[in-house]
């Protein structure tokens, strides 16, 4: 039974939107695959951006890109402030990353995805003035248990107790960066294991919130835009997430203050995205724990995607076979 009042489905994103968005991430992933392992991340990104923009133009919504890849002068990137969609239907905020993991794609490494996050208009935190955010993500067992302000060893021990696991079975995902050397040592000193990732902390955060994942927690400093996009997915998974902005310079901190952002403040899920009706879709570019990468076998191209929606609390896997002839360049 549909409980919505007349016109409500027009005003708010509906359940069909996720499947429409999957078409855009599939297209971006497919177009990026010729560039896997070719060492040219800009070419891979451009191919994905062009395909995603084309398919987004067919979706019945009024989409405002609040988390994109650059400013208007940097076109063809999907830029902050760009309007996408048919101009009809619900008004929504969009976070896009045609390839989360361009370096992974260029190097032929795993875990690159194409992703889109959507929430009702005005509900996503605009943290574009501060590039980095410290994040902590886990499954629902972390709710009321984890606190980014506490020492990491205490959080690891608390999560192990909540999940009923010994500490030495806890696996923590963290970006393999020089800035995380001390963090990595803290994890190991606590008795837990690390899952070091080259790039793509959105997928790592989602994996940390999934019950069937080998990752129990994701921590560390990564992109603020990716943090907001991740929050849309974590809401659908019923997981835990906290973030704290990490400006790198005094000028960046001042820009953040001018934009109304708070520092030395813990942002929870409802701060990162206020809407309770969020969508997150992703298609694998290269193979990863979250989704398989694009594969071509004879005349078919196979893709695997996920579609999450917070209102229904669902995560769907979408496997699709595409006729390769339909994707030949004109």
Say whether both 87 and 102 belong to one domain: yes
**Which of these three, 232, 255, 272, is where a domain ends?**
272
Q: Mean pLDDT over all residues of the chain?
A: 90
Closest CA to 279 of 101, 139, 94, 143: 94
Q: Is 201 annotated as a binding residue?
A: yes
Contact by Cβ (8 Å): 30, 112: no
Ligand-binding site membership of 223 (annotated): yes
Q: Residue 264: its pLDDT value, please?
A: 86
Q: Are residues 94 and 147 in the same domain?
A: no
- Look at residue 196 and tell me if it is in a domain: yes
Rounded Cα distance between 188 and 234, Å, is 26
The answer to whether 182 is annotated as binding is no
The verdict on whether residue 74 carries a ligand-binding annotation is: no
Whether residues 150 and 214 fall in one domain? yes
The answer to whether residue 188 is domain-embedded is: yes
Q: Is residue 1 part of a domain?
A: no
Residue 179 is labelled as binding a ligand? yes
Asked, for residue 126, whether it belongs to a domain, the answer is no
The CATH number linked to 233 is: 3.40.190.90
In a domain, 2, yes or no: no
Categorize the per-residue pLDDT at 174 as very low, low, confident or very high, splitting at 50, 70 and 90. Answer: very high
Quickly tell me which residue has 């923009």 as its tokens. 53
Q: What is the CA radius of gyration of the chain?
A: 19
Which among 252, 272, 292 is the end of a domain? Answer: 272
Give backbone dihedrals phi and psi of 232, rounded to 5 degrees, phi first. Answer: -60, -40
Q: Is 45 annotated as a binding residue?
A: yes
| Confidence at 73, pLDDT banded by 50, 70, 90 | very low
User: Per the structure, how many domains does the chain have?
Assistant: 2
Q: Is residue 127 one of the residues assigned to a domain?
A: no
- Residue 177 known to bind ligand: yes
Task: For residue 200, say whether it is annotated as part of any ligand binding site.
Answer: yes
| 67 has pLDDT over 90 | no
Mean per-residue pLDDT for 213-230?
Answer: 94
Q: What is the pLDDT of residue 76?
A: 53
Q: Which conformational region is residue 189 in: left (phi greater than 0), alpha (psi within -120 to 50 degrees), or beta?
A: alpha
Q: Is 69 annotated as a binding residue?
A: yes
Does the annotation place 321 within a ligand binding site? no
Average pLDDT of the residues in 282-308 = 95
Per-residue confidence at 176, pLDDT binned at 50, 70, 90?
Answer: very high
Query: Beta strands 171-175 and 217-223: pairing type?
Result: parallel
Q: Which of 78-82, 113-117, 203-207 has the lowest mean pLDDT?
A: 78-82
Q: Is 144 marked within a binding site?
A: no
Quick one: what percent of the chain has pLDDT higher than 70? 92
Which backbone phi and psi does 141 adopt, to 5 degrees?
A: -65, -20
96-141 pLDDT, tens digit per residue, is 999 999 999 999 999 999 999 999 999 999 888 899 999 999 999 9
Find residue 315's DSSP bridge partners.
308
65 neighbors 79 (Cβ within 8 angstroms):
yes
Burial (CB count within 10 angstroms: exposed 0-12, middle 13-18, buried 19+), residue 305: buried
With a cut of 50, say whether residue 7 has pLDDT above it: no
Last residue of one domain, picked from the residues 238, 257, 272 = 272
226 marked as binding residue:
yes
- The dihedral over CA atoms of 46, 48, 49, 52, expressed in degrees to the nearest 10, equals 160
Q: Work out the percent of the chain whose per-residue pLDDT is above 90.
A: 76
81 is in an annotated binding site: no
Residue 15 is part of which domain span?
A: 7-121+277-326
Q: What HEC string does the chain produce?
A: CCCCCCCHHHHCCCCCHHHHHHHHHHHHHHHHHHHCCCCCHHHHHHHHHHHHHHHHCCCCCEEEEEECCCCHHHCCCCCCCCEECCCCCCEEEEEEEEEECHHHHHHCCCCCEEEEEEEECCCECCCCCCCEEEEEEECHHHCCCCCCCCCHHHHHHHHHHHHCCCHHHCEEEEECCHHHHHHHHHHHHCCCEEEEECCCHHHHHHHHHCCCCCCCEEEEEEEHHHHHHHHHHHHHHCCEEEEEECCCCHHHHHHHHHCCCCCCCCEEHHHHECCCCCEEEEEECCCCCCCCCCEEECCEEEEEEEEEECCCCEEEEEEEEEEHHHHCCC
Contacts for 93 with CB less than 8 Å, ≥ 6 apart: 63, 64, 66, 118, 119, 120, 121, 122, 123, 124
| Same domain as 220, residue 140 | yes
pLDDT at 5: 40
Closest by CA to 128, choosing from 14, 236, 229, is 229
């Amino acid at each position: 039974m549909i409980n919505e009042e007349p016109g409500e489905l027009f005003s708010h994103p509906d359940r069909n939107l996720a499947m429409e968005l999957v078409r855009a991430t599939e297209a971006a992933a497919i177009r990026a695959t010729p560039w896997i392992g070719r060492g040219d991340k800009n070419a891979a990104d451009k191919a994905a951006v062009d395909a995603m923009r084309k398919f987004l133009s067919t979706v019945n919504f009024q989409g405002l890109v609040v988390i994109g890849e650059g400013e208007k002068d940097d076109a063809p990137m999907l830029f902050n402030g760009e309007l996408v969609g048919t101009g009809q239907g619900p008004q929504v905020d969009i976070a896009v990353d045609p390839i989360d993991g361009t370096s992974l794609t260029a190097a032929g490494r795993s875990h690159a995805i194409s992703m889109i996050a959507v929430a009702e208009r005005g509900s996503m935190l605009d943290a574009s003035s501060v590039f980095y955010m410290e994040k902590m993500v886990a499954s629902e067992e972390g709710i009321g248990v984890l606190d980014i302000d506490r020492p990491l060893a205490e959080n690891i021990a608390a999560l192990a107790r909540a999940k009923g696991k010994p500490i030495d079975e806890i696996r923590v995902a963290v970006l393999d960066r020089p800035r995380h050397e001390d963090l990595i040592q803290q994890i190991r000193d606590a008795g837990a294991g690390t899952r070091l990732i080259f790039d793509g902390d959105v997928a790592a955060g989602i994996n940390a919130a999934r019950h069937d994942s080998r990752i129990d927690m994701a921590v560390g400093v990564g992109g603020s835009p990716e943090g907001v996009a991740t929050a849309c997915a974590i809401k659908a998974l019923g997981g835990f997430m906290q973030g704290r902005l990490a400006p790198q310079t005094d000028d960046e901190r001042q820009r953040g203050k001018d934009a109304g952002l708070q520092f030395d403040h813990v942002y929870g899920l409802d701060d990162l995205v206020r809407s309770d009706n969020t969508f997150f879709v992703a298609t694998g570019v290269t193979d990863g724990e979250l989704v398989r990468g694009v594969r071509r076998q004879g005349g078919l191209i196979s893709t695997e995607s996920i579609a999450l929606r917070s209102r229904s609390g669902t995560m769907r896997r979408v496997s699709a076979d595409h006729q390769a002839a339909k994707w030949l360049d004109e």
